[in-house]
Amino acid sequence: MRFVTLPLLLSSMMLFSCQQQEAGQAPSTELQAIFPKGQQGPAELFTGTAYNYGLVPNDSVYTTLVGNVYFEPGARSNWHTHPAGQILIITDGVGYHQIEGQPKEIMRKGDVVKCPPNVKHWHGASADTGLQQMYIVPNTEKGIVEWMEPVSDEVYLQD
């Protein structure tokens, strides 16, 4: 078995990147799915098109719900809260997260976002790029989610 050293690997990656740029190829904006798309979310809970794929169902042993949501560009959740909070792990794309009364934050691949318990918030894709996020809802014996009103275009588009 042959192992490639880190400097050689990095050099090869940089060379490939430079060759792509020289050839005039733009980086791909297509998201790389690691889970199936899942079921389309209901229109009364999402603006635009979003899909949910459950990974760990709620049960009395782990009391944790885990899944993946794929938001098409411009799609977003309604305002909502989680009794025990929520953790988001961004696996691809670009999107937004906002806690009520605070500025909208940009989320990118590799970001981890903590949504505090019982705090009103929303999240979704940017206007021109989709978003994939894993969600973790702990301590589901306290409840899972309370859905509220849609996020207005005015709120979604503000900087």
Per-residue pLDDT of the chain (159 residues; tens, 9 = 90+): 333 333 333 333 333 333 333 444 444 567 888 899 999 999 999 999 999 999 999 999 999 999 999 999 999 999 999 999 999 999 999 999 999 999 999 999 999 999 999 999 999 999 999 999 999 999 999 999 999 999 999 999 998
Query: What's the token pair of residue 34?
Result: 């690691």
By the 8 A CB rule, do 55 and 134 touch? yes
Token pair 């192992």: residue: 3
Whole-prediction pTM = 0.80
- Structural domains of the chain sorted by starting position, each given as residue range(s) with its CATH number in brackets: 30-157 (2.60.120.10)
**Among 103, 158, 95, 81, CA closest to 132:** 95
Contact 67, 53 (CB under 8 A): yes
